[in-house]
Structure 1
Amino acid sequence: MLPHDLPRRPVAPGLLLNPLCVGTGTSRWSASTNRPDDEKLLDGLRCAVESGVELVDTADSHLYGHAERLVGKVLKENRGHRVQVSSTVGRVLGSAPHPYAGPRVRHQLEQTLENLYLAELAVYTLESYDFGNGDRYLAPVVEQMRTLRDLGQIRAIGLRGPDGCSSPRYVRRFLQLFDEIRPDVVWTRASGLLPLPDVGGGENLDTFTDRHGVGLMIASPLANGILAGRRLRMGAGTADQTEKQTVAIDRGLTVLANRFGSADALLRVALRSILQQAQNAVVAVGVGDRAEVSRYFGCLGGPLCATDLAVIEEVFQLIRNAVRLPHARTMIVEAADLGGREAVPAQPGTPLRR
């Protein structure tokens, strides 16, 4: 269970959720790697449900629906559960000419709900910014999403937001779509190594969503496991660059581990700091096996004080300065965009075929 100082947070109108949730967005769920160990992941999901998790964040593109089906299997085992699920649409192409063409959004939702053994989704997120030539599918998709919300098949409309590596052009596109779609929730990736992005005027995504009365969902708070002690893996750059970045990261994380001292100090620092700083957000940590999930919910302890938070931010800033290279994104963000590709794209939107 979560500490008492982390009460439920409003994600959308009428939707209050515990701020720490789990998601299937980790490299071990990627179709580009060997098939994951279903039993270990199922056991991790079961542990999350037992720990009181109230939201599982998944996507139709995670192993082409297999992740949704694993989540559904666990929910079916726990008939009295209170777990909500968020999923996405916009990247899986299927046999349609475009992921947003015609009734594609509604059809994919029907398949997702069937996979999950649910009658509704908590959040249905538009993952791609590609709405066809001249945004030809944008208005019909927005109409479909609002109809699905009115019918009670989804509780909130989500929109994928920029992250700390997004280009100014991408941020402008987000702001345009935000105005046209008027989502209930914005989804992004963030961690101590990849802070929430500036969306203009010195305002970051946290304050922007809060000002607009919109929920915020943050994935990848452990920076692909780096903030849990995993060694750096780079898909680009020279060995010398990688070694320098590894040394910088290890030095900074050692400072934090020594200051906070417990066996799970880095986990606590990574999760506590983002939960306390983004107080209107729910944070989804990637599902691993039962032992990993138990650590997530058991490491949080009491609140970090203002001095602790200042020290943590100073160390993270030093690490960010040391690894600020064009190819560093593959280190800081999750190792895959989880639709069957090994590298995270600069912007979401490339359709995936089933």
Structure 2
Amino acid sequence: MGIGTWAMGGPFFSGEKWVLPKGTPIGYGSAKDSVSIRALHCALECGAKLIDTADAYGAGHCERVIGKAIKGRRDQVFLATKFGNVIDEERKELIGQKWSERYISDACEASLRRLQTDVIDLYQLHISDLPIDAAQGVAETLEKLRGEGKIRSFGWSTDDPERVRSWSAIDGAVVAQFNMNVFQPAPQMLKICDANDLTALIRLPLAMGLLSGKYTPESRLPADDIRSAGPDWQRYFLKSGGANQEWTERLEAIREILTSGGRTLVQGALGWIWAQSERAVPIPGIRNEEQARENLGAMEFGPLSRDQVTEIDALLERS
């Protein structure tokens, strides 16, 4: 199990030439660095090894927070970050996407500086829909960085099986990062990871927080929270800032199973992911020490049983 850090970047927004309209919030609202650092320390003490981030989170700010948090603890961390979104740190904006060799090399150096480290354990392409032909050139650049000792391995953050398959024969490509949770299975992606000996790094394992059970249709998230912005791929929350009732009703239908054996909803949702594949490594996001302890506490319970998974499929009317 790893830890996601998107929420630790604080507010940041789409710039003029990014993929969403200018001014669209892309973060999870405000974050206090001291709280984030304590949360990361707590996660490591509770057994987390992998910290996943991106230069995009907070337009560089999240990497800086992590760099401070792991100073003196670098040997305890498998450090993963991403590239592909051009950032403006001063304006807290994403201002485009690039994937040239020069850009990747410069982005890697910038991430190394912000993270205060000599090497990145896992460097991931953060452009989900980059054409496969262009991505082959990216892989060649990443192999060069690996040869230079600046990264140890690489992967692609994408939900497309064919894109993952296109990198499967490349030595340094060891990970596919993709969305998966109890509401959003990803059997094709898991099948490709199994066939090609890839680790499945699972983002949005808690459906952007909906699976915590804390949000209702009456909830009102802040205006600078991406869950209030309503991008097309974000299905769990409405532009009102409330939870999507369709999904809260589904959560209620499976609540009893997820909370079996003393689990919290969060721990049951993570147990569902482990039940899908031994390759699956969820990276739930955290903001504070309480969330770190709850998430990591899921490891004490382990995966749901096969019968429980089957019952969830029936309740959610999945074949």
Measured against the shorter chain, the TM-score band is 0.7 to 0.9
Give the structure 2 partner of residue 113 of structure 1: 112
Instruction: Give the match for residue 333 of structure 1.
Output: none
Q: Which residue of 2 aligns with 1:340?
A: none
Match status 1:83 vs 2:77: yes
Q: 2:281 maps to which residue?
A: 282
2:63 paired with 1:60: no
State the shift of 1:145 in Å. 0.5
- Code of the residue aligned with 1:111 in structure 2: it is A
Output one character per residue of 1:151-171: Cα deviation in whole Å (capped at 9) or x when no partner: 222111211221xxxxxxx55
TM-score normalised to structure 1 length: 0.69
CA contact (8 A) 2:205 2:269 kept: yes
**How much does 1:211 deviate?**
1.0
User: What corresponds to 2:144 in structure 1?
Assistant: 147
2:76 maps to a residue whose letter is R
1:193 corresponds to 2:179? no
Q: 1:79 to 1:231 in 2, by over 3 A?
A: closer
Displacement after TM superposition at 1:278 (Å): 1.8
3-state SS of the aligned residue for 1:124?
strand
1:184 aligned onto 2:174: yes
| 2:122 aligned counterpart, secondary structure | strand
How many Å separate the matches in 1 of 2:47 and 2:197? Answer: 26
Counterparts in 2 of 1:126 and 1:23: CA distance versus 1, 3 Å: same
1:272-321 deviations in Å (ceiling 9; x for gaps): 12123221122111022011111112244334333233223433x34x89
Give the CA deviation at 1:238. Answer: 9.9
Q: Which residue of 2 aligns with 1:209?
A: 193
How high is the TM-score relative to the length of structure 2? 0.75
Q: Is 1:226 paired with 2:210?
A: yes
Alpha-carbon distance between aligned partners in 2 of 1:288 and 1:98, rounded to the nearest angstrom = 27
User: Which runs of 5 or more structure 2 residues have no equivalent in the other structure?
Assistant: 13-24, 89-93, 218-227, 231-236
Superposed, 1:199-348 pairs within 5 Å as 204-232=188-216, 235=230, 244-245=245-246, 248-256=249-257, 260=260, 262=262, 264-303=263-302, 304-315=304-315, 317-318=316-317
Give distance in 2, aligned partners of 1:35 and 1:243: 22
- Kept in 1: contact 2:84–2:126 (CA 8 A): yes
Hey, what's the Cα distance between the residues in 2 that align with 1:314 and 1:188? 24
1:48 aligns with 2:43: yes
Contact 2:118 2:150 in 1 (8 A): yes
Does 2:110 match 1:126? no
Residues 253 and 266 in structure 1, CA contact (< 8 A), matched pair in contact too: no
Higher relative contact order, structure no. (Cα contacts within 8 Å, ≥ 6 residues apart):
1
Identify if the C-alpha distance between structure 1 residues 193 and 53 changes in structure 2 by more than 3 Å, giving closer, same or farther: same
For 1:280, give the aligned amino acid. Answer: R
Q: Percent identity?
A: 23
Q: Deviations over 1:147-196 (max 9, x none)?
A: 1112222111211221xxxxxxx554554565789832111111001111
Paired with 2:4 and 2:251, the residues of 1 have a C-alpha distance of 26
Q: CA deviation at 1:142?
A: 2.4
Partner of 2:156: 159
The answer on whether the counterparts of 1:148 and 1:154 sit within 8 Å (CA) in structure 2 is yes
Q: Is the 8 A contact 1:26 1:224 kept in 2?
A: no
Aligned-partner residue type, residue 211 of structure 1: A
Asked if the contact 1:215/1:280 (under 8 Å) is kept, the reply is yes
The answer as to whether partners of 1:160 and 1:188 remain within 8 angstroms in 2 is: yes
SS in 2 for 1:217: strand
Question: Retained in 2: the 8 A contact 1:40–1:288?
Answer: yes
Range with bigger deviation, 288-297 or 264-273? 264-273
Unmatched segments (≥5 aa) in structure 1: 1-19, 163-169, 198-203, 322-354
Opposite residue 87 of structure 1, the aligned amino acid is: T
Q: What secondary structure does 1:100 align onto?
A: coil
**1:96–1:284 CA distance, 2 compared to 1 (3 A):** closer
Give secondary structure in 1 for the equivalent of 2:86. Answer: coil
**Contact 1:159/1:178, CA 8 A, preserved across alignment:** no
Q: Deviations over 1:117-141 (max 9, x none)?
A: 1111111111115668x95x54543
Q: CA deviation at 1:53?
A: 1.4
**Alignment check: 8 A CA contact 2:122 2:155 kept:** yes
Distance in 2 between the 1:187 and 1:50 partners? 25
Aligned residues: 281
Q: 1:247/1:150 Cα in 2 relative to 1: closer, same or farther (>3 Å)?
A: closer
Q: Does the CA-based 8 Å contact 1:23-1:57 persist in structure 2?
A: yes
Distance (Å, rounded) in 2 between the aligned partners of 1:103 and 1:161: 22
Q: 1:101 to 1:66 in 2, by over 3 A?
A: same
Determine helix, strand or coil for the equivalent of 1:155.
coil
